[in-house]
Amino acid sequence: MTLDPPALAPPCPTPVHLDDSLIVVDKPAGLLAVPGRGADKADCVSARLQAVYPDALVVHRLDMATSGLMLLARGAEMQRRLSQAFAGRTVDKTYTAVVSGLLADDFGEIDLPLGPDWPNRPRQQVDVMHGKPSLTRWRVLSRDVLGGQTRLALQPQTGRTHQLRVHLSAIGHAILGDALYANVEVAAAAPRLLLHASALGLDHPLHGARLDLHCTAPF
C-alpha cells in the first residue's frame, strides 16, 4: 500500500511590507480575501497569513478576481486605527485596469450611485433612487488603438462593492476578463480580470510616517 505524501499548506502571499503593526501583501488573482461559505471556500489571504502571523487581521478586501496590494493589521488596536483611516478616506488607493474601447478624454471621473442587484447577487448596479454615492477618478495610461483597449489608472474615492467594475461597465468601457459586468466578447478577451491594486498610500498607524507602496500589474 502506497501512502500519499501529506498535502503542503498553500503558500503565504508575498509580503510587500511587513512590520509589527501591519502587513501588506500582493494578493494573486483567484484567491479569496476572506473565507467564503463552505469548506471549499476556506482557503484565502487571511487564513494563509494567519498561519504565519497569528495576529494578522483583515482591514479591507479585494475581489477574488482582483490582484494586488491588500492590507492587514497586526492585532485589534492596529486594525481599529487602520479601519478608521479607511473610513476617514485618508488612505489613497490606485488600481491599474485594461478596459474595452478607447476613452476620448485623458482623465475624468464617474459619479454614479451604486447598490445591490438583489435578484442577481453578488452583482451590483447603478441605482439612482436608492444607491449610495460612489465616485471613481480615472486617468489614461496608454491606448491600444489597433486592439481597441485602454489602460487606466483608477482612484476610487468611495469603497463600494465592485465599484470600479460597475462604474466602468456603466460608461461602456468594461474591464477585460470581467465575467460579471462585461459582455461575452469582452469577458473572453483576457484569461483573468485585468484589475490590479497597484498603489497604496497611508499614514502608519503607530508613528504616523507616510507609507507609499507600489506593486506593478502582472498584465
The residues annotated with a catalytic role in the active site are 63
Cell matching residue 117: 442587484
- Burial of residue 214, with CB atoms counted within 10 A of its CB: 0-12 exposed, 13-18 middle, 19 or more buried: exposed
Which of 68, 61, 81 has the alpha carbon at shortest distance from 21? 81
Q: How many whole angstroms separate alpha carbon 168 and alpha carbon 129?
A: 20
Judge residue 174's burial from the number of C-beta atoms within 10 Å of its C-beta, 0-12 exposed, 13-18 middle, 19 or more buried: buried
Cis peptide bond N-terminal to 122, omega within 30: yes
Q: What is the DSSP letter of 44?
A: B
- How far apart CA 213 and CA 197 sit, in angstroms, is 10
